[in-house]
């Protein structure tokens, strides 16, 4: 049986490895870019919130801002205690 010359086979293997890593890296980059575009386009409109709450109108404004951002929060949280605290302040 004749032995084949395999002196350049490791170069082919390295080229294929670099090519596969490049394809995986490019796919990850595209997925990350599409995720960034999606989160940028779905951000809610910003609403100014006072730095300190001193009046009832400041409290109501902060409450409205929290209500607008509630879609980003975990809906499984029990917010009854927070509602009771807010109602006692009003």
**How far is it, in rounded angstroms, from Cα 89 to Cα 5?**
85
**How far is it, in rounded angstroms, from Cα 49 to Cα 11?**
61
Averaged pLDDT for residues 15-19:
96
Radius of gyration of the chain (CA): 28
pTM higher than the cut 0.95: no
**How far is it, in rounded angstroms, from Cα 59 to Cα 56?**
5
Look up residue 12 and give its two tokens: 């082919």
DSSP, res 50: -
Instruction: Give me the residue spans of the domains in the chain.
Output: 8-43, 46-90
Q: pLDDT by residue (tens digit) across 48-80? A: 777 788 888 888 888 888 777 665 555 556 677
């Amino acid at each position: 049986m004749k032995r084949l010359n395999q002196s350049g086979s490791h170069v082919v293997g390295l080229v294929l490895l670099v090519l596969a890593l490049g394809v995986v890296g490019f796919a990850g980059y595209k997925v990350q870019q599409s995720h960034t575009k999606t989160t940028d386009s779905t951000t809610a409109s910003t609403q100014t919130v006072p730095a300190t709450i001193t009046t009832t109108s400041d409290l109501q404004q902060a409450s409205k801002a929290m209500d607008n951002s509630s879609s980003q929060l975990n809906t499984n949280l029990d917010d009854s205690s927070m509602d009771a605290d807010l109602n006692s302040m009003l």
